């Protein structure tokens, strides 16, 4: 049973960017994989110059130390090498059939996009939804300890999966953008506060999952932190065989600006994807149609924005895809910016 759990753990890490097969992971103690992508972006009305970019080349390393012990790490090489970071580096110990302990720097399991979906060969639409940019930052990893696992329920293969963690918290100046609060690894140096969070997912039947997430922290970088940062989230997804996918997330941050005074930041997205292989037409077999609607609501209507991105995907293989997406941006009030854009993205998991 532990060997099956280890295979599942390796596959779980694979979903963050590893393209090797499960069989390969089972027969090799060391597995090397990762993903890369290339983009070409054209902005409406010449708002910015059109540009090519080698956005990611992220190698991932996994090593099976013992039957129930594995080490894994991902190096983040972005923007043609102008940014190089350690995305995650962790040790996973399978204690029993239901509990795995993780030590090190791990992707935070808040919702599903950050931990499971953000690699560009997995995400069906170019770019990130607004809910996972300035509300819940993507590429969000923390150093700490986590317990995770799953328990079967019912007679139809259902299960409850969970992840609970204690880690270094978000930290920065009062009211700062969420993405800035997770910058750098040397957090909790000015105070000893720790963040506590977790996610519980329920899979009542194959292809259906509902999840809730929570997080609490004191985020100001004073020696005696007093300002709270609380987060809640909900996610859901539905799959019909390998043809149709429907998913969405809602995230909310309550960020204290002064004792008793909070800024509420909300983000959400809904996404659908349909593979045209359902038609059994040879010419349409590699084609997928997808669309994502996402938005954010921050204090003050000037900060309320949304976007719609219809996308056509062409798959050259299981882990090789060309995505053509047109993002239509909108603002609820104030000056309407000319900021639509077309993105061509080629991504390869390896």
Nearest CA-CA partner of 7 in 17, 16, 19, 21: 21
User: How confident is the model over 282-311, as pLDDT tens digits?
Assistant: 899 999 999 999 999 988 766 788 999 999
Instruction: Give me the pLDDT at residue 24, please.
Output: 45
**Is the per-residue pLDDT at 146 higher than 90?**
yes
Instruction: Give me the pLDDT at residue 222, please.
Output: 77
Residue range 319-343: average pLDDT? 85
**Is the per-residue pLDDT at 2 higher than 50?**
no
Residue 34 CA to residue 63 CA, distance in Å, equals 14
Q: How is residue 117 annotated by DSSP?
A: I
**Is the per-residue pLDDT at 155 higher than 60?**
yes
**Helices within the chain (DSSP H only):** 2-14, 22-27, 178-181
Angle value at C-alpha 65, between 27 and 16, nearest 5 degrees: 70
- Euclidean distance between the first and final Cα of the chain, in Å? 28
Phi-psi group of 334: left, alpha or beta (phi > 0 → left; psi -120 to 50 → alpha; rest → beta): left
Q: pTM for the complete prediction?
A: 0.86
In order, the DSSP letters of 49-98 are --EEEEEEEEEEEEEEEETTEEEEEEEEEEGGGTEEEEEEEEEEEE-SSS
In order, the DSSP letters of 135-147 are TS-TT-EEEEEEE
Residues 6+ apart with CB under 8 A from 89: 72, 73, 74, 104, 105
Torsion angle, alpha carbons of 108, 114, 119, 124, to 10: 160
Q: pLDDT band at residue 187, thresholds of 50, 70 and 90? A: low
Please report the domains of the chain, with CATH numbers, ordered by start residue: 2-31+57-305 (2.40.160)
**257 or 46: whose pLDDT is higher?**
257
Average pLDDT of the chain is 87
Nearest CA-CA partner of 292 in 129, 140, 141: 129
Q: What Cα–Cα distance (Å) separates residue 304 from each residue in 174, 237, 294, 307? A: 21, 25, 11, 11
Q: pLDDT band at residue 154, thresholds of 50, 70 and 90? A: confident
User: How confident is the model over 127-145, as pLDDT tens digits?
Assistant: 999 999 889 989 899 999 9
Residue range 107-132: average pLDDT? 94
**Is the per-residue pLDDT at 79 higher than 70?**
yes
**Is the per-residue pLDDT at 340 higher than 80?**
yes
User: How confident is the model over 10-57, as pLDDT tens digits?
Assistant: 444 444 434 343 344 445 699 999 999 999 999 887 678 888 999 899
Residue range 183-188: average pLDDT? 62
Q: Across the strands, what pairs with 311?
A: 290, 325
């Amino acid at each position: 049973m532990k060997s099956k759990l280890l295979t599942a753990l390796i596959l779980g890490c694979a979903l963050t960017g590893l393209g090797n097969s499960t069989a390969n992971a089972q027969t090799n103690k060391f597995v090397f994989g990762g993903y890369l992508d290339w983009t070409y972006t054209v902005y409406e009305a010449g708002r910015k110059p059109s540009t090519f970019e080698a956005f990611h080349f992220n190698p991932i390393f996994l090593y099976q130390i013992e039957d129930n012990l594995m080490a894994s790490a991902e190096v983040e090489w972005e923007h043609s090498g102008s940014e190089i970071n350690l995305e995650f580096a962790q040790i996973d110990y399978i204690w029993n059939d239901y509990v795995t302990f993780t030590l090190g720097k791990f992707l935070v399991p808040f919702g599903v996009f950050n931990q499971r979906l953000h690699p560009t060969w997995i995400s069906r639409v170019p770019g990130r939804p607004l809910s996972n940019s300035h509300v819940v930052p993507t590429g969000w990893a923390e150093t700490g300890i986590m317990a995770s696992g799953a328990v079967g329920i019912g007679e139809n293969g259902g299960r409850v999966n969970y992840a609970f963690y204690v880690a270094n918290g978000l930290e920065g100046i009062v009211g700062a953008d969420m993405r800035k609060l997770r910058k750098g690894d040397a957090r909790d140096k000015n105070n000893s506060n720790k963040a506590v969070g977790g996610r519980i997912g329920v899979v009542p039947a194959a292809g259906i999952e509902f999840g809730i997430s929570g997080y609490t922290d004191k985020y100001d970088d004073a020696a005696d932190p007093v300002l709270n940062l609380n987060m809640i989230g909900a996610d859901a997804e539905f799959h019909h065989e390998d043809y149709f996918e429907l998913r969405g997330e809602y995230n909310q941050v309550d960020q204290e600006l002064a004792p008793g005074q909070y800024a509420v930041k909300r983000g959400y997205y809904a996404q659908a994807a349909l593979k045209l292989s359902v038609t059994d037409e040879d010419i349409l077999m590699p084609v997928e149609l997808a669309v994502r609607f996402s938005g954010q609501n921050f204090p003050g209507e000037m900060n309320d924005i949304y976007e719609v991105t219809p996308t056509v995907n062409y798959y050259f293989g299981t882990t090789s895809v060309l995505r053509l997406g047109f993002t239509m941006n909108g603002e609820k009030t104030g000056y309407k910016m000319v900021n639509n854009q077309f993105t061509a993205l080629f991504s390869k998991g390896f």
